[in-house]
Amino acid sequence: MKAITKIAGFSASFLSIFILMNGLALASLRADDNDIPKLQNPITVKYLQTNLKKSHPRLVLNASTEALLKKKLKSDPAVKNLYEAIKLNAAEIHHRPLLKRKLEGRRLLGVSREMLYRINMLGMVYRIEKDQKTLSRINDEVIAVCDFSDWNPSHYLDVAEMSLAVALALDWTAGKLPANTQSKAIEALIEKGIKPSWPESGNSPGWAFGTNNWNQVCNGGMIAASIAIAEKDPELAAKTISRALDGLPHSLVEYGPDGVYPEGSTYWGYGTGFRSRPLPCWRVPLAPISAWAIIMLSRKVPPSGR
């Protein structure tokens, strides 16, 4: 069986399973074309500490979705075949050299996406198999990128995707990485991921309240990073998530009135995927995020209804 080539960012792999399990019940809902309310924003340090799940995994996967996935692996041939392909991809990653900070032009995005791909594949295998070999490779991958001088904040998509990758690595290994690796990763998420998104000028970066895919990708990456470091720096996590909740509706309006995305289908998938990932991270249903999910899922259906 030939491994699937670069199932990047889960847009073609587990994200499909996640959306199927969590979104089908919402997808039939329709919001009024002009009714895109500003999200309520209750995020404070206290709120975060009260409502953020303490158990792992809590990014993309949670206990219920993971249990359903394991059940599907025994009963659903399509899910089983997809997982077999993921395992082949993960096995191939073991033969690749660790990543280096090599820019293409002004971008590190290729490296960040490769890291996200590797953690998607290795991480999913580790969640199912819990094998030491996969855990060891995840550890090596995390150390390699956290030792970079920076994650190229001049092009923030690079930071966002790298931040999501490292956050997923921490979350999906659920405390099984060596303590020094966990500390290194959390420090990197703070110093190389989140803090560069808060300019010294005090102004928000353009993507934070923009209307294109950068809003969704960068805010999504920062939410994931903030969840990963919330216990270490709750103030930074809370203010970053709060900014994201204020900023994300600015990109949501682009889905109206009938789900046609002005940047085309590729960027539709790119932005929507990053918007979807933080949703399972709360201990109890979070009203503004739940409302946002309903509106997003109804707006993403194009006029064809497909």
Q: What is the CATH number of the domain that holds 223?
A: 1.50.10.100
Written as one letter, the residue type at 293 is A
**pLDDT number for residue 203:** 83
**What pLDDT is stored for residue 32 in this prediction?**
42
Residues 6+ apart with CB under 8 A from 193: 151, 159, 162, 163, 166, 221, 222, 225
Half-sphere exposure of 213 (CA within 13 A, CB side): 16
pLDDT tens digits for range 233-267: 999 999 999 999 888 888 877 777 667 777 877 77
Does 3 reside within a domain? Answer: no
- Largest Cα separation within the chain, whole Å, is 55
The whole-number pLDDT of residue 9 equals 45
Q: What is the pLDDT of residue 61?
A: 86
Residue spans of the chain under pLDDT 50: 2, 4-5, 7-36, 282-300
pTM for the predicted model, two decimal places: 0.81
- Confidence at residue 251, expressed as pLDDT on a 0 to 100 scale: 83
Residue 215: inside a domain, yes or no? Answer: yes
Is residue 1 domain-resident? no
Count of structural domains within the chain? 1
In a domain, 14, yes or no: yes
- Residue 305 in any domain: the answer is no
- β-pair partners for 184: none
pLDDT given at position 110: 97
- Predicted local confidence at residue 263, as pLDDT: 80
Q: Is residue 233 part of a domain?
A: yes
| pLDDT for the residue numbered 222 | 94
In a domain, 304, yes or no: no
- How far apart are alpha carbons 60 and 253 in whole angstroms? 24
Q: Which domain holds residue 179?
A: 9-299
Nearest CA-CA partner of 120 in 141, 101, 150: 141
Q: Collapsing DSSP states into helix, strand and coil, what is residue 107?
A: strand
